[in-house]
Amino acid sequence: MKRFLQTLSLAIMAGTLVMAASAAATDRKTIRAAFIEFPPLAYSGADGHPEGSFIHFTEELARRAGYEVAWQGLPIERVYLYLERGDIDLWPGSAGVPELAGFTHETDFRPGEIRLNAYHRGDTPPVKSLEDLQGKRLILIRGYTYFRLLDELKVDPNTYVTLAPDHQSAIRMLAFRRGDYLVNFQAPMEVTIERSPLPDLAHTNLLSWPLSFIFSASAPGTRLMARRFNQAWQELQGDDTTAPPDN
């Protein structure tokens, strides 16, 4: 009987430890988050620390939800991979990305949107849609997926695509007529144009895409994180001191 009670006690202790470890895993206080270079919403500051309106908004929302955020900057393809493997918990980014649907879940709200534009010189006629870009000379930013909407254009033999290493280079390439249309997102372009204005630069909006908080379904505790983010968002609706990101 004594041996039975000892065995039972050990089993209860082991079960308690497993339950405690499971609870700790699902109720972590630090969110492992990733960001891509997308100024002014998210970027690495001069000291190497993450900066930007979406960074600060995420940290404020996380604080209200009871979390701290540990950031790491990653290329977009690595973000997708880490979400799939559960190596990160969160990516504040684009809502409804098809590649992420099978292994992520998102918050119920959309805190803002980003706009994709076609920029051109004043002597170039504007385009009205993505379809109008076919057969044109395009400048794209290296490393951007463009939601896979431009994949067909990249392999179209009648469309000439040049990849720019960054936004600054893309502006220069457009100025030197290396392409007729620069397809880029409005937020980082506005920052670049402020630094290096291009006379007669015009643009057409091609589409707008909502922002969201994308949590990895492969990481423990992320459904609880998403629920708490939803609650924190509801609380923010009556607080005018924290502005959501946009553009």
**Would you say 128 and 245 are in contact if contact means Cβ atoms under 8 Å apart?**
no
- How far is residue 162's CA from residue 164's CA, in Å, rounded to a whole number? 7
Per-residue pLDDT of 170-189, as tens digits, reads 999 999 999 999 999 999 99
Residue 229: inside a domain, yes or no?
yes
**Would you say 207 and 140 are in contact if contact means Cβ atoms under 8 Å apart?**
no
Residue 242: inside a domain, yes or no?
no
Per-residue pLDDT of 205-235, as tens digits, reads 999 999 999 999 999 999 999 999 999 999 9
Nearest residue to 224 (alpha-carbon basis) of 40, 62, 35, 52 = 62
**Would you say 186 and 114 are in contact if contact means Cβ atoms under 8 Å apart?**
yes
* Same domain flag for 107 and 224: yes
* Same domain flag for 153 and 70: no
Name the one residue in this structure whose structure tokens are 């799939």.
Answer: 84
Residue 13: inside a domain, yes or no?
no
Please, what is the Cα angle at 24 between 22 and 25, to 5 degrees? Answer: 65
Count of structural domains, the chain: 2
pLDDT confidence of residue 8: 39
pLDDT confidence of residue 245: 74
Name the one residue in this structure whose structure tokens are 């918990």.
Answer: 89
Q: Which segments within 74-159 are labelled E, that is strand?
A: 90-94, 104-106, 113-120, 137-141
State which amino acid sits at residue 27.
D
* Same domain flag for 198 and 229: no
* Same domain flag for 165 and 200: yes
* Same domain flag for 70 and 102: yes
Residue 61: inside a domain, yes or no?
yes
Q: Which two tokens stand for residue 212?
A: 């969201």
Q: Is the peptide bond before 40 cis (omega within 30 degrees of 0)?
A: yes
Q: What is the value of pTM for the model shown?
A: 0.83
pLDDT confidence of residue 19: 42
Q: How far is CA 47 from the centre of its chain?
A: 21
* Same domain flag for 174 and 145: yes
* Same domain flag for 106 and 228: yes
* Same domain flag for 72 and 96: yes
* Same domain flag for 70 and 177: no
Residue 6: inside a domain, yes or no?
no
* Same domain flag for 101 and 223: yes
* Same domain flag for 131 and 190: yes
pLDDT confidence of residue 221: 97
Domain containing 183 equals 115-208
Residue 79: inside a domain, yes or no?
yes
* Same domain flag for 214 and 202: no
Q: What is the CATH number of the domain that holds 222?
A: 3.40.190.10
Residue 247: inside a domain, yes or no?
no
pLDDT confidence of residue 14: 45
Angle between helices 186-195 and 167-175 (to 10 degrees): 70
pLDDT confidence of residue 23: 44
pLDDT confidence of residue 28: 82
Q: What are phi and psi of 33, to 5 degrees?
A: -120, 150
pLDDT in tens, the chain (247 residues): 555 445 434 444 444 444 444 444 556 899 999 999 999 999 999 998 999 999 999 999 999 999 999 999 999 999 999 999 999 999 999 999 999 999 999 999 999 999 999 999 999 999 999 999 999 999 999 999 998 999 999 999 999 999 999 999 999 999 999 999 999 999 999 999 999 899 999 999 999 999 999 999 999 999 999 999 999 999 998 776 566 676 6
Q: Which two tokens stand for residue 203?
A: 């643009």
Residue 46: inside a domain, yes or no?
yes
